[in-house]
Each structure stands twice: as structure tokens, then as C-alpha cells.
Structure 1
């Protein structure tokens, strides 16, 4: 076969490869084989051209056969090259791990799971660990406030004082006057000579009494003019407040229990014109609902002469 004939065959093969089917041919092919026909365009596979051998001018009758054998040998892979590639593939392949007993594999899986649990996760994932965590310390409870006693009842439960419950008393030496409750009794010093002074005392016993006095630093005539009223010890204070308008009293309501009995104390003190005025009321604790309003009324009635 001449060189020009071989070139013509190659051109015909290339032209057939590049040929595109018409729509009619596609429709006929779809009716015959619908499973292999698609509307999606598919890139044609490159067609491998057969090797072309050029015969020498001086060819022998068996030249075509030799050329065919040579082309087949060229297409077949080299045996030595094939063996080298097989050895390289075997060397690159990982060695198979030896078979392990079932118990060892189970232990390995358990260790792997524990390691996975104890591994520190990222910041946005919860921490899971098999180690026990100490409980958070509880805050210390707040101390409970213990009341020293029940405070007095509100004003609406108190007895309203009446005008007949009081008598007006004036102290000339002390320069003051007030309405004292009659229930506190009489003056125990009324029968004694030279008992007139700045102090007024009314008593009906150790559980019911009242006393009013004035402390004047400039008094040099009266006996013991700076002697304050007695103070009761071991008292439980209920209330401390400021009372009054013209005279501002510093008042304290407390409770005291001794061998005489359970009683309540109302103490008041005020300073006016350089003089100190003190008032003390002692009433039984069981009768404070009717006697405490009378003591407060007597305090409000205090006036300077």
C-alpha cells in the first residue's frame, strides 16, 4: 500500500469521528435504544488511530505480514516493564495488619472510646469526662434575725385615754406642769417635810409608777440637783424614736423582767434652755394596751411654766 493511500484512510477516519448525528437520527436511535440515548450532550471519546507503517521502496512479498506483527508487538506492553510496575505497586501497598484476638481488639476499642471522651473539645462544645467533678460550694445561709419580743399592738388596738383618767400637776421648783394618770397612785413623799423639789413621783407599787425630774447645772440650792432618774438593767429595747413638736423628746420603749415581774418601760429625755428634763413610766406588760396610751398622753401634755 502506498503512502498516499494510507493518508487518505486516516483522513476518512478523522472525518467520520467528527461527524455529528442529525435530529432524525437521534429520534430513530431513541426509539430503538431509549436507555442509551440522552438529550445531554456528551463529549466524544478521542479515537485512537492505528499505527501507520511506511513500507520501504524495496519491499519483499512478506513485508505486509512483518509490518502487521511489528505493529501488534508495539501495541502490546513490555513484559519486563509490566513486572517492574507490579513490583512497585506491591511495595507501595500497605502491609496488612496481623490478625489480633477478639479480646485485644475489644480492649483497643474501649481505650479508643475513653480517649475520645477525655479529649478536650472545642470551646463551643460541652466537656464530657469520666472523672468525677467536685460539687460546687453552697453559699452560706444568711443569719436569721431573732426578735427580742413581740412589739406592742398598733394604735387601733389601744384604749383611748379619757379626761377623767388624769390630774393636772405643777412643779414650782422645776418650772413645768403636765397631766399625770391617776392610776399611777399618789405621791409617796407628800407626808415628809421639805420634800418639795424639781422631781415628781407617783407610785402604786413596783410594777406601776412614774417619775418626772429636771436637771439644772446652775441650781446650787436644791439637794443633789444633777441626780438623774434610775436606769433599769437587762432591758430588751423595742423602739427608739423622736417625739414631740415644741419640745423634742428622745423616747425609748423597752421591756424588763425581774423578781418583781414582767413590765414595760417608757423613758423620755429632752433639753430645753440649758436644762434637761427626764420622764419615766413603769407599767405591767399585761396592761400596756390601756396604760401605754395614758403615758404617751402625759408626755404630750408636758409644758414649761
Structure 2
């Protein structure tokens, strides 16, 4: 992958990312679990309007077709609209707190793609937003993989079930939309069953069909903090084109209400600072 690092680049989203309706949608805990999106952005309940907003892109790459594909946005401003009237119902800015890259994730023992994992803070309500972006079939990776579902886990902790509201947006004109979302651990062609710990995004990310890049799939939650966990992200291939039916996992961020424990180096800096304050105070007393 040929990376292009941009120190501070403000990018106006292209005209093809037109005015649209949608917002974060709270996912149901009972029937119907799976709520479908629409291929018409004017009626897509999940789509966040980004055509007239600004994104700060900090990293991108040139794909094999010499297209510039944004990878990381440190801030994204969006409009939410009513699907009935198209009136703006709210606006916010997603500010990046942390991200990680899972390179060469595997299915059936073969590297198929990269998965980017993001944590944002939404200025609209100060809530945490977890983002997932998938890129399949990069150079050196298997070229015929297809991901029908991407999962996020960690929405249940010690008997507490966190809220989960889904949305999505484009980072480039070449991204694939979200098809549906559910609080479920089941993939395409499987029966959805409510799972308080899981969120299932359905799409059809596939290099052979010309859709190797997902949009930025988002989940907003009412958890106070976040932490890292193994198997926080899952991905599923349903075998629609004679590939093996297989599911795999990778590490990522999950919500939590447990405050993070400072690193030992943080304690050392704190103690050093307190010691310096003590020295200054003693010198002043002697003076």
C-alpha cells in the first residue's frame, strides 16, 4: 500500500456524496432486530450527510487504479436529517480519540485485507462513537475474499447493556454503503437472535465486484470509557461465490464503564511532579 501522509489537509467531500437523510439509529433489542438501509441516500435512515462539510484527512493511499483513498480522518463534521422532511435535525463533529490498524487480517489462513478501528467523540452529545473501515484485496492479499458482515463486540459489561446506535458515512467516493445493522451475532443467511454484546453490520465488500472498500461504519454508545480487547471485531464470509463460509476475529476497542488505569510511567511523572513541588515549597519557606 502506497501511503500518502497529510499533516493537516482539509478535504471537501465530492459532489457525488449528495444531500441525504439519516442519523444515528438506535438498534432494537426485540423484533425486528435488523433494520435495513437504502441505496437511495435521501431515504437511508443510517446515512450521515457529509457533502457540505469538511473532513480533516491525515492519511490516505493510492490504490492500484491510482485513486486517492482517504484512510484516517481526525475530524468529521456531519448533518443529520429527517427522512420524512429532509430538515436538518442536528449537526456534530466526530473528533478522533484513537485508532489502530489491523493489517493482513485472515480468513481460512490467508490474508484478505486491512481493518481500521476508530474511537471518536461526537460534539453533538459528547458520546463515544466506534468506527470500522475495511479494505480488501490490497497488494499481496487474497483477491477473491468477500465480507458480508462486520461485527463489533463489547456492548455488555457486568450485566449492563450499553446503548448501540448505528450510522455510516463515506470517506471516499469509492466506499461501499451499509446495507443493514442489528444487535446480533449472526451473519448473512443466518437467523438474527438478539445478542446484547454484539452489533452486526451487513454489507458486501468484495474486490471482484468492484467494492473493495467499506464506508465508515459507526456505532454510538452511552459507555463512559473505552479499552482494548482481543476479538473485539469480527468479520464473516457467507460463501455466496463458492468461497468457504468462515468467520474470524481481530482485536480492537470496546466500550466500558471502568476508568482506565494509568501506565506506570504516568505514576512516575506524577510523583516526580509532586516531588518538585515539595522542593520548591521548602525553598520558599527557607527564604
Identify the structure with the greater helix proportion: 1
Q: TM-score, normalised by structure 1?
A: 0.26
Identify the structure with the greater strand proportion: 2
Q: Which one has the largest radius of gyration?
A: 1
